[in-house]
């Protein structure tokens, strides 16, 4: 038997046939697909994530400190600070109880007139209230620097018990300035004051007297 040779691939003279070209195109397509598949799997695709910059929040506004009055710029009128005596009929109400003004002075008896014209009771004694000694004056109360810087001011009304020798026996607060330090300063200084004592028929007597003490700042330029 003679050997037979089987050619599985078209011979050179068969390349012009349509079947041969179709087979070649199919082979090339398979090779290209295989190459693309293997190349895509081996390639590493790296994605770079760039974070967005953080947003800066605006800083809250700092509260402005309260305006304060400098001690050097404060102007204190001495006349404003010194207590002054004002006539009773203008500023001071009448005392409801006489014993609160004059100590130890008996109430005068009422006038008694009989049917036939009896004796008339003696008139009430002449009372002169205590007053500030013009030669001595009154020392100024202490004005706390922190109150000055804070713009604090006000009027303190004191009731002062003035003894027969002119010294102060007691001090009471009648009306507050609204600032405790000013009230305490006025009361503390009032205990050091000396007055011309009040009199009853020319005789020195212990009496109560109201005095206003004004703390005021004069910062006008």
- Give the best-scoring range by mean pLDDT among 16-25, 98-107, 157-166: 157-166
CA 192 from chain centre, in angstroms, equals 33
Q: Picking from 92-96, 125-129, 186-190, which range would have the lowest pLDDT averaged per residue?
A: 92-96
Instruction: Give me the chain's average pLDDT, please.
Output: 72
Nearest CA among 202, 178, 214 for reference residue 78: 214
Please give the backbone phi and psi of residue 33, each rounded to the nearest 5 degrees, phi first: -65, -40
Mean pLDDT confidence for 149-166: 94
d(CA 208, CA 162): 6
Query: Is 138 inside a domain boundary?
Result: yes
Taking the C-alpha atoms of residue 45 and residue 60, their distance in angstroms, rounded to an integer, is 46
158 assigned to some structural domain:
yes
Residue 3 located in a structural domain: no
Q: Is 207 exposed, middle or buried (0-12, 13-18, 19+ CB in 10 A)?
A: buried
Q: Are 217 and 148 in contact (CB under 8 A)?
A: yes
- pTM value? 0.49
Q: Kindly state whether residue 23 falls inside one of the protein's structural domains.
A: no
In a domain, 119, yes or no: no
Looking at residue 100, its pLDDT comes to: 39
Q: pLDDT tens digits, residue range 102-124?
A: 444 445 555 554 555 556 677 77
Task: Kindly state whether residue 16 falls inside one of the protein's structural domains.
Answer: no
Asked whether residue 151 is assigned to any structural domain, the reply reads yes
d(CA 178, CA 183): 8
The mean pLDDT value for 186-196 works out to 95
* Tokens 């953080």 -> residue: 54
Residue 204 has pLDDT above 90, yes or no: yes
* CATH code for the domain in which residue 153 is found: 3.30.2420.10
Report yes or no on 179 lying in a domain: yes
Number of domains in the chain: 1
Q: Do residues 148 and 74 touch, judged by C-beta distance below 8 A?
A: yes
Residues 6+ apart with CB under 8 A from 117: none
Residue-number span of the structural domain to which 144 is assigned: 78-106+124-215
**What integer pLDDT is reported at residue 55 of this predicted model?**
75
């Amino acid at each position: 038997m003679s050997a037979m040779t089987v050619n599985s691939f078209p011979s050179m003279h068969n390349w012009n046939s349509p079947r041969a070209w179709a087979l070649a195109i199919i082979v090339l397509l398979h090779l290209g697909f295989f190459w693309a598949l293997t190349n895509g799997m081996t390639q590493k695709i790296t994605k770079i994530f760039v974070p967005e910059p953080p947003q800066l929040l605006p800083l809250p506004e700092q509260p402005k400190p309260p305006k304060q009055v400098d001690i050097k710029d404060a102007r204190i009128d001495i006349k404003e600070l010194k207590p002054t005596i004002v006539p009773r009929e203008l500023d001071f109400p009448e005392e409801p109880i006489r014993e609160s003004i004059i100590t130890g002075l008996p109430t005068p008896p009422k006038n008694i007139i009989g049917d036939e014209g009896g004796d008339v009771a003696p008139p009430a004694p002449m009372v002169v209230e205590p007053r500030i000694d013009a030669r001595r004056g009154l020392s100024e109360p202490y004005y706390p620097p922190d109150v000055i810087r804070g713009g604090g001011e006000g009027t303190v009304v004191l009731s002062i018990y003035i003894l027969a020798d002119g010294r102060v026996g007691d001090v009471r607060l009648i009306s507050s300035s609204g600032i405790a330090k000013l009230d305490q300063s006025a009361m503390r200084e009032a205990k050091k004051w000396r007055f011309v004592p009040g009199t009853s028929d020319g005789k020195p007597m212990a009496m109560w007297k109201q005095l206003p003490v004004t703390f005021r700042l004069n910062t006008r330029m």
